[in-house]
Structure 1
Amino acid sequence: MTLKLSPDLDLETHARTFRERGRAHIIGLMPDDSAAALHGWLSSDIPWQTNFNDGEKGHTLHQLQVEALNETQRQLLLTHISQKAAFDFQYVFNAYSLSDARKQGLNPELAVNQVLDFVNSEEFLALGRTVTGRDDISFADAQCTLFRPGHFLSDHSDDVYGKSRVAAYVINMTPQWRPDWGGILQFIDQDGNISEGFTPAFNALNILRVPQPHAVSYVTPYAQGGRYSITGWFRTGEEQ
């Protein structure tokens, strides 16, 4: 299966929305067969890692490390993360970096690896240039993400020095989700209010200008299934 874009996307309308609001929500990104294939890869063959931070330092626990934690250690880790989140930027969620895996030659047999080629294809980069109005976009990085109960990503702007990020993108791959389960992509205005929120969807693309305050709300304990997506940034310059 080769991933491709739907042929009838109205990118000019989304470009106008992006100019006005700094973000766009594009439904029906891919044909049904491409979307079904991508969801199948995400829900079956990913060696998920648990990502969290302690201040500015990020940490990654591989699957075997997570399984080696006893219940007391798990609770201590979650308590530490929750306490930090009360006052500082904090995140915890499952991820698998396709960009890093490609550079390190890891798991070349995984079908999901071709997502990195898809987001760097001329048609996807052209979509990014059209919607953002930035002709200097030259590449995109990518990671698979999975938010489960207890996961969240607190208020941040994605503006990291030296990364040359033009806009963030999220390819949503969640077939069924209720807004009250959490996991909402929230946009935060200058008064600290939630100005808009995108509920996890299936086969929909979100693009948001960098920098822009946003967060992914806490996924509730009663949420069913997982919040699957491909996330990354449209960037300028040469791939690092």
Structure 2
Amino acid sequence: MIDRPLRTFAGHPEPLGPLSLDPTLDPLSLKAAFARFGRLHVPGFLTEDAAARLHALLASERDWICSTIGGGVVADVPVEMIEGLSPADRAAVFALAHREAERGFHYMFDTVRISTPIEKDQPLPDAWRQVAAFLNGPAFLGFVRTLTGDPRCAYVDAQATRYTAGHYLTEHDDEKPSAGRLYAYVLNLTPDWRTDWGGLLAFIDEDDHVAEAYRPSYNALNIFRVPQRHAVSFVAPFAAAPRLSITGWIRDAVPAGLS
């Protein structure tokens, strides 16, 4: 990972405001489906106002980092550096990443890490801290505990993600016993995404078929049990908008520095 000086974060001067779940959601009514399949797509997850404000936060973000793997090592590169390359050099960066993706687990997408700076007591705009507080608050964690029937759910980590043309996340299962990952989630915040633009959350069965795939529908929560084989499909060159989301894992313990 490339270390960078701590940034001043000029954006997001205004508070995000309260976030809330759609009050009509009933996790008990969804519990049986989740138990049967180990995954669920929940549309209309937030109130309309909360979803709109979160989308605006993501859409206005200026401090994206392109996260990928280079030569087997995690590489974080500020997006402005990639955007400053010549078209030929930028194409070469993508081509190199795509060649590495042929051989196994690989990814390339833009991110703003939310939980990591909080856990390390590093600077982070208040708006992102509000997102983390909401995800670890009683409404979200209560929904998850009721839906899954799992009282172990104790902590939700998070990052903002942005997939644009050429981005992807190849097959993996999220298993990492030392991290205490119980469930993975994706809160989708892209209006009007077309299925043929790619960026689908695809679940892979024992025959290597796509058993099911979720379009990143606006204001929908995708949640699934870990481990489970899945991928995010390649975003097409003709995708007319970025695929925006808040994503992470629901874990069985609060990090030591936060408890």
TM-score, scaled relative to structure 2: 0.88
After TM superposition, the structure 1 = structure 2 runs for residues 1-240 of structure 1, keeping only pairs within 5 Å, are 1-54=17-70, 57-102=73-118, 103-109=120-126, 111-239=127-255
Tell me the CA shift for residue 161 of structure 1: 3.3
2:177 and 2:71 map into 1 onto residues whose CA distance is 17
Q: Please tell me whether the aligned partners of residues 114 and 124 of structure 2 are also in contact (alpha carbons under 8 angstroms).
A: no
Q: What is the root-mean-square deviation in Å for CA atoms of aligned residues?
A: 1.5
1:177 and 1:108 map into 2 onto residues whose CA distance is 28
2:25 and 2:116 map into 1 onto residues whose CA distance is 30
2:203 and 2:79 map into 1 onto residues whose CA distance is 31
2:62 and 2:150 map into 1 onto residues whose CA distance is 32
Q: Cα deviations across residues 91-141 of structure 1 (Å, max 9, x unaligned)?
A: 0001111112323432435x2331111100011111111122210111100
| Number of the residue aligned with 2:11 | none
1:54 and 1:22 map into 2 onto residues whose CA distance is 33
Structure 1: runs of 5+ lacking an equivalent:
none
| Matched AA of 1:193 | H
TM-score, scaled relative to structure 1: 0.94
Tell me the CA shift for residue 55 of structure 1: 6.2
| Matched AA of 1:119 | L
The sequence identity of aligned pairs, in percent, is 38
Q: Please tell me whether the aligned partners of residues 15 and 130 of structure 1 are also in contact (alpha carbons under 8 angstroms).
A: yes
1:140 and 1:112 map into 2 onto residues whose CA distance is 13
Q: Please tell me whether the aligned partners of residues 83 and 90 of structure 2 are also in contact (alpha carbons under 8 angstroms).
A: no
Q: Cα deviations across residues 142-164 of structure 1 (Å, max 9, x unaligned)?
A: 00001101000011101123110
Tell me the CA shift for residue 67 of structure 1: 3.6
Q: Cα deviations across residues 19-38 of structure 1 (Å, max 9, x unaligned)?
A: 10010111111111111111
Tell me the CA shift for residue 64 of structure 1: 3.8
Structure 2: runs of 5+ lacking an equivalent:
1-16
Question: As a proportion of its length, which structure holds more strand?
Answer: 1
2:230 and 2:171 map into 1 onto residues whose CA distance is 5
| Matched AA of 2:208 | G
| Number of the residue aligned with 2:3 | none
Report how many aligned residue pairs link the two structures: 239
